[in-house]
Amino acid sequence: MFGLGLGEWLIILAAALLLFGPKFFAGLFRKIGQNAKSIGDEFKNGYDEGDKKGDSSEGGK
């Protein structure tokens, strides 16, 4: 990706960790996880709701 190898990415991540600190990244990844969970929950709720509507419209098949 972008012409960078694994070594270069590790150096960039280490520099960012030193610059921002571990608390910043812990909070960032926690927020990302919460958002991913809420998106998954909304998708599941929408899928379940659509499934219930589909069952009622079939009329006994």
Q: Which of 49, 48, 33, 29 is nearest to 20 (CA)?
A: 29
Task: Kindly list the distances between the CA atom of residue 21 and the CA atoms of 13, 31, 48, 60, in Å, as whole numbers in the listed order.
Answer: 11, 16, 41, 60
Enter the pTM of the model: 0.51
Q: Are 18 and 10 in contact (CB under 8 A)?
A: no
Q: What is the pLDDT of residue 7?
A: 95
Q: Where are the domains of the chain?
A: 21-61
Q: What is the pLDDT of residue 48?
A: 72
Give φ, ψ of 4 to 5 degrees.
Answer: -105, 140
pLDDT tens profile 2-61: 789 999 999 999 999 999 998 999 999 999 999 999 998 888 887 777 667 766 555 544
